[in-house]
Chain A
Amino acid sequence: MATMLDCRRVQPLLSEYVDGALSEETAWDVKMHVASCAVCQRVADDFAGTAELLGGLAHVEPSANFESVLAARLADLSVKPHRPSLREQVSEWWYARGSVGRPALASAAAFAFVVPLIMVTLTLRQGAVDAVNGTAVVKQSNAAASPASDAEALERLYDDHAAYSSSLLLGDSSAVLTPADSRL
């Protein structure tokens, strides 16, 4: 990832950004761009807003007689859980959405493609989780001697820089109230 992102490169990342799913370096670059770009900030806020609206929807519950109806359906079927053949198992596992009964990802090439992707995801997610946990750790620990998370360490370096700038006789002391993390 190049440094200094522009809107064209930031916007496709904003959805992952609001979900905390970006790697730390990319998340930092996006965060700094968003902090200085009202347009991208707006898009990020809107994306977060849609997620909030959806997340705030009432949770629906099935009817009270769900289990009894289900029991009746199962009784009608008069089947027992069966142990399927290996072919069925493989087919079921790689049974892709919208291609009923057809193993869409049966080829070795497809397999090789998907597995590394999932692994990469897990690594990426781990990074994001660490960043989040880092903040949480600081929240829990009193008088933390050193910043617990990466992003926070970087923010603190900037905050010290800004605090020193603000303290100059000809400084602009409003900088001290716009630290690196104030946007989030």
Chain B
Amino acid sequence: MNLARSLTLTHSDSTLIARCQKADIAAFNEIVARYKGKIFNYVYRMTGSMEDAEDLTQEVFVRMYTNIGSFRAEASLSTWLFRIAGNLCVDAFRRGKKERGVVTSLDAPTRGDDPDEAHGTRDVPDWSHEPTALLSRKELGAEIQGALQKLPPKLRSAVVLHDIEGLAYDEIAVAEGIPLGTVKSRIFNARVALREHLRPYLES
């Protein structure tokens, strides 16, 4: 393994932030490289659109760059980035242009908008003995995304952060700026709704 690469990989977030606060563009690039996937994935699951996700994720890092000075060292960088991303999504929904509603028409998946298309797997063995084997992985992915789109954005954000991004309840509380109890009830309510929407895929 490349020694320089293995060294850079070990830089902690706080080191990178400190360097970034001193206008070290290499450190900034490293933060982008480290978090763009997570943030993009979150924004995509929030908006259901690859184009919007690309645009909003760019904006997250622009905001991070301009506000890096206000970042407190003891806070978690990823939580902060999710908070910025969440706020941007809400702003976008409020502008009313990015909220797609249910865009999961199986007949006409938008070009490039379907992440599961890239994997192109119609024969995923994991699903072979499940009822969901009737659906390809791509179709199942579209169904799940459709179910997410039906949730109110607040519930969607909480459940995406937990189940997809792997944040703990308390991290979500910080990222969303809400009490822990609210995180719990949002995730609960999201699952109640998802259970209804995804019932056919929850058998056995």
Interface residues of A (CB under 8 A from B): 12, 14-16, 19, 21, 43, 45-47, 49-51, 53-55, 57-63, 66-67, 69-70, 73-74, 77, 79-84, 88-89, 92-98, 100, 104-105, 113-114, 117-118, 120-122, 125
CB pair B201 A53 closer than 8 Å? yes
Q: Which A residue's beta carbon lies closest to that of B126?
A: A56
Q: Is the interface of B mostly helix, strand, loop or mixed?
A: helix
State how many angstroms separate the Cβ of A25 from the closest Cβ of chain B: 17
CB pair A54 B160 closer than 8 Å? yes
Interface size class of B (residues with CB under 8 A): 35 or more
CB pair A97 B90 closer than 8 Å? yes
Inter-chain CA distance A46–B177, complex, in Å, is: 28
Inter-chain CA distance A12–B115, complex, in Å, is: 34
Q: Which A residue's beta carbon lies closest to that of B197?
A: A50
Residue from B33, B137, B195 in contact with A50 in the complex, judged by beta carbons closer than 8 Å: B195
CB pair B164 A63 closer than 8 Å? no
Q: Which residues of A contact B66 (CB under 8 A)?
A: 77, 79, 81-82
Q: Which A residue's beta carbon lies closest to that of B194?
A: A50
Q: Which B residue's beta carbon lies closest to that of A122?
A: B170
CB pair B36 A104 closer than 8 Å? no
Interface residues of B (CB under 8 A from A): 20-21, 23, 29, 32-33, 36-37, 40-41, 44-45, 50, 53-54, 57-58, 61-62, 65-70, 72, 75, 83, 86-87, 90-91, 115-116, 118-119, 137, 140-141, 144-145, 148, 154, 159-160, 162-164, 168-170, 173-174, 176-181, 184, 187-188, 191, 194-195, 198-199, 201-202
Q: Which residues of A contact B45 (CB under 8 A)?
A: 57
If A55-B164, A61-B37, A122-B170 touch, whether A96 touches B195 (CB-CB below 8 Å) is no
